[in-house]
Amino acid sequence: MYTYEQLHQFATQIFIAIGHEEDLAKKASDVLISADLRGVDSHGIARLKGYVRLWEVNRINAKPNIRIVHETPSTATVDADAALGLISAPIAMKIAIDKAKQVGSGWVSVKNSNHYGIAGYHSMMALEEDMIGISMTNASPLVAPTFGKERMLGTNPISVAIPTLHQTPFVADMATTTAANGKLEILQRKNLDTPLGWVQDADGNPTTNAHGVKEGGALLPLGGDREHASHKGYILGSIVDIFSAVLSGANYGPWAPPFVSFMDPVADPVGEGLGHFFGAMRVDAFRPKEDFLRNMDTWVERFRKTAPIDTDNPVQIPGDYEREMEADRRINGIPLLAPVIADLKELGEKFGVTL
Amino acid sequence: MYTYEQLHQFATQIFIAIGHEEDLAKKASDVLISADLRGVDSHGIARLKGYVRLWEVNRINAKPNIRIVHETPSTATVDADAALGLISAPIAMKIAIDKAKQVGSGWVSVKNSNHYGIAGYHSMMALEEDMIGISMTNASPLVAPTFGKERMLGTNPISVAIPTLHQTPFVADMATTTAANGKLEILQRKNLDTPLGWVQDADGNPTTNAHGVKEGGALLPLGGDREHASHKGYILGSIVDIFSAVLSGANYGPWAPPFVSFMDPVADPVGEGLGHFFGAMRVDAFRPKEDFLRNMDTWVERFRKTAPIDTDNPVQIPGDYEREMEADRRINGIPLLAPVIADLKELGEKFGVTL
């Protein structure tokens, strides 16, 4: 078990070691370790090595000049200058929030960026301002569109955070595939099969092979097959791709640069780096704040009271799981798997940082 | 077979007969008959009787004072004054577009409205302005959240329309359930079973009974079951509900008023009428217009060329089906089922209008 502070400090020192100023390194760690805290282990410190490797192949700029390159009162496009997405994303979300303060809502697309951690960190920045926050990103192509056998989209997550008065806020953070890659990795480690509807093989046949994606197959869009409306998952992933990357001028669809350093980005890019998209809407841009927040409390209370199929298994509000994980891990610490600890120790030795 | 003009004229005269001014009646028919044209038969003239019945029980105001009740430069809330959603929705979308012209993007929530036809009509209004259009609405509660057996949400559709230069535009229009109600109705008429994952029975058990919803069960959120991530469909339906109804002050969740006139709205409403939400973003609020449109052309071309599983069944672009239906039906006419024709004749006799 490690404390939040231990992991945060370690990651910060690594980010400094690869050339970041201390304030940027700390911000990157805030985003990265929030994933470990919230139980999204696949997106936390386990990825630190991956970011360092991207830096080693000159795909991360540790001294970025992150700037607005196009704007209107309610919108902006940000050039992340090849920064860690962990750094460019909160800066872009802050621009969206500032625009919302001025004109009611703010919408920011980002190009020339990299993997931005968990989508929910950024959308949740809006909550303390009594705004609705929206966050999405495109990602390494692993997903086949309905009827296709080629990997054309990433798991392209969508996060929406909505404030409440006294109730727990509504915080959705979901991949637009049936299963996120992290879930597959768990089954791979345990040598278990997946349910049908998560993965297809290299010929496009349904498979239960948890290694199917690595063997040339693809993740399936939310819905899983045409009969269960996988075209809707394909639509959602496409919208995320277009808002994040076509709107900003990043690489879209199959051109999205891979997160792994051993795969080179495509030789004929259609844009710059990876793309994100953020939104912030002041709730009092639509009605008096208290009215909205009180109604949201009623919404949350009423949905919790939905007649359950099984009384031991009540209907949940989006964000419940992550909130419970965070409450537990702040007190009891964050568990890490042995291979992750080994990776971190190796990283530490390389850069003279102790865990 | 009927021509578009025949159905449009008939619907217009019926809307006038129940008290609408001619221009509003024509606008309502534009929206209504666009569904027939685009092959979404469940949302077209087959529903005309339903709208008239709502008017008969005083739930439709034919002389509405549709007005902005709250606004900022980029947002507005509209009180539809119990108008047909077919009338209030295009007015609200126009406000979103006008705000986008001024400040880059416009976002409009609507309360006190009624069923607004197909979501895609409204989002597509943005295309001719070189804007991205967004449209969503809450609806009669028919859908159970994951782990619940109670109907808490509507089929709550999302539509996103994205312009291109020479290619066909991207026009998504999807219910946030595995199957829209219209698909169930087709199976009911043919006395066929549904696939598992579309419907659950009154106890929350999976069922293949196409009549399951009418018998006290519920439609299932996109994903179908927990293993296939139905919680993501529940999240999407909830976001539509909150943006459409909590943001505007309409009835949300299980309080959403039913479309059918024989069911009374709940006695303890939490808001006014049904809610919608619209968005418009100028593409040149993010980057030069031509750059965006050219990249979208490349996006569409590349996705059409996705390696297919079956070469006879290529990957489609959202909106292909509806566009093909429209091209066909403009020339060859719109087929109507015998019961629909009977309903229309009965309506016509009542109001002295001939089909």
Each residue's pLDDT expressed in tens, for chain B with a length of 355 residues = 999 999 999 999 999 999 999 999 999 999 999 999 999 998 999 999 999 999 999 999 999 999 999 999 999 999 999 999 999 999 999 999 999 999 999 999 999 999 999 999 999 999 999 999 999 999 999 999 999 999 999 999 999 999 999 999 999 999 999 998 888 888 988 889 999 999 999 999 999 999 999 999 999 999 999 999 999 999 999 999 999 999 999 999 999 998 887 788 888 999 999 999 999 999 999 999 999 999 999 999 999 999 999 999 999 999 999 999 999 999 999 999 999 999 999 999 999 999 8
**C-alpha gyration radius of chain B:** 20
CB contact under 8 A, A148 and B307: yes
Question: Nearest CA to A337 among A15, A30, A41?
Answer: A41
Residue A102 Cα distances to A13, A162, A285, B209, B272, angstroms: 37, 20, 10, 52, 29
pLDDT digit string, tens, across residues B229-259: 999 999 999 999 999 999 999 999 999 998 8
Buried-state track A332-344, b at ≥16 Cβ within 10 A, e below 16: eebebeeebeebb
Cβ-Cβ contacts under 8 Å, B73 against chain A: 73-74, 103-104
Domain hosting B216: range is 4-285
Give the residue from A176, A306, A313 with the most B CB atoms within 10 Å of its CB, the best one to mutate: A306
Cβ-Cβ contacts under 8 Å, A248 against chain B: 286-287
Which residues, 6 or more positions from B29, have their beta carbon under 8 angstroms from its beta carbon?
Answer: B8, B9, B11, B12, B15
Residue A307 has its nearest CB partner, among B150, B252, B271, at: B150
How far away is chain A from the Cα of B70, in angstroms, using its nearest Cα? Answer: 6
Give the pLDDT score at B57: 94
Q: How far apart are CA A122 and CA B239, in angstroms?
A: 17
The answer to whether residue B170 sits within a structural domain is yes
The ipTM value here is 0.98
B155 touches chain A (CB under 8 A): no
How far away is chain A from the Cα of B197, in angstroms, using its nearest Cα? Answer: 7
Question: Nearest CA to A247 among A99, A107, A345?
Answer: A107
Q: How far apart are CA A333 and CA A3, in angstroms?
A: 5
Q: How far apart are CA B224 and CA B233, in angstroms?
A: 8
Residue A147 has its nearest CB partner, among B179, B197, B308, at: B308
Q: How far apart are CA B131 and CA B71, in angstroms?
A: 21
Please list the residues that pair with B75 across neighbouring strands.
B72, B107
Q: How far is CA A136 from the centre of its chain?
A: 7
Cβ-Cβ contacts under 8 Å, A316 against chain B: 146-147, 231
Which residues, 6 or more positions from B4, have their beta carbon under 8 angstroms from its beta carbon?
Answer: B33, B36, B37, B329, B330, B333, B334
The answer to whether residue A333 sits within a structural domain is no
The answer to whether residue A293 sits within a structural domain is no
B190 touches chain A (CB under 8 A): no
DSSP A45: G
The answer to whether residue B156 sits within a structural domain is yes
The answer to whether residue A343 sits within a structural domain is no
**SS3 call for A95:** helix
The 3-state secondary structure of chain B reads CECHHHHHHHHHHHHHHCCCCHHHHHHHHHHHHHHHHCCCHHHCHHHHHHHHHHHHCCCCCCCCCCEEEEEECCEEEEECCCCCHHHHHHHHHHHHHHHHHHHCEEEEEEEEECCCCCHHHHHHCCHHHCEEEEEEECCCCCECCCCECCCCECCCCEEEEECCCCCCCEEEEECCECCCHHHHHHHHHCCCCCCCCCEECCCCCEECCCCCCCCCCEECECCCCHHHCHHHHHHHHHHHHHHHHHCCCCCCHHHCCCCCCCCCCCCCCCCCCEEEEEEEEEHHHCCCHHHHHHHHHHHHHHHHCCCECCCCCCCCCCCHHHHHHHHHHHHHCECCCHHHHHHHHHHHHHHCCCC
Residue A60 Cα distances to A38, A83, A261, B300, angstroms: 26, 6, 11, 30
CB contact under 8 A, B232 and A238: no
Nearest 5°: phi and psi at A58? Answer: 60, 30
Q: Please, what is the average pLDDT of chain B?
A: 96
The answer to whether residue A71 sits within a structural domain is yes
Give the pLDDT score at A76: 99
Cβ-Cβ contacts under 8 Å, B238 against chain A: 170, 172, 303, 318
Give the pLDDT score at B181: 84
pLDDT digit string, tens, across residues A219-253: 999 999 999 999 999 999 999 999 999 999 999 99
Task: Identify the closest residue of chain B to A146 by CA–CA distance.
Answer: B315
Q: How far apart are CA A35 and CA A28, in angstroms?
A: 12
Angle between helices B338-351 and B4-17 (to 10 degrees): 40
CB contact under 8 A, B286 and A247: yes
DSSP A127: G
Q: How far apart are CA B297 and CA B286, in angstroms?
A: 17
Which pair of tokens denotes residue A37? Answer: 């805290």
Q: Please, what is the average pLDDT of chain A?
A: 96
Question: Nearest CA to B136 among B246, B271, B30?
Answer: B246
Q: Which of residues 64-103 of A touch B (CB under 8 A)?
A: 70-77, 103
Cβ-Cβ contacts under 8 Å, A165 against chain B: none
CATH label of the domain that carries residue A74: 3.30.1370.60
Per the structure, the count of domains in chain A is: 1
CB contact under 8 A, B144 and A172: no
H-helix or E-strand spanning residue A67:
strand A67-72
Question: Nearest CA to A177 among A151, A203, A201?
Answer: A151
Residue A299 has its nearest CB partner, among B132, B147, B253, at: B253
How far away is chain B from the Cα of A25, in angstroms, using its nearest Cα? Answer: 29
Task: Identify the closest residue of chain B to A234 by CA–CA distance.
Answer: B318
Residue A148 has its nearest CB partner, among B109, B197, B306, at: B306
Residue A138 Cα distances to A44, A116, A240, B259, B289, angstroms: 18, 10, 6, 38, 21
DSSP A102: H
Nearest 5°: phi and psi at A42? Answer: -65, -20
Residue B229 has its nearest CB partner, among A178, A247, A292, at: A178
A278 touches chain B (CB under 8 A): no
How far from each other are the two terminal CA atoms of chain A, in whole angstroms? Answer: 12
The answer to whether residue A247 sits within a structural domain is yes
DSSP A143: B
Residue A97 Cα distances to A106, A158, A171, A293, angstroms: 6, 18, 17, 18
Q: How many CB atoms lie within 10 A of CB A265?
A: 15
B299 touches chain A (CB under 8 A): yes
- Spans in chain A with pLDDT lower than 50: none
Give the pLDDT score at B282: 98
∠ CA A284-A289-A293, rounded to 5°: 125
Give the pLDDT score at B283: 98
The answer to whether residue A332 sits within a structural domain is no
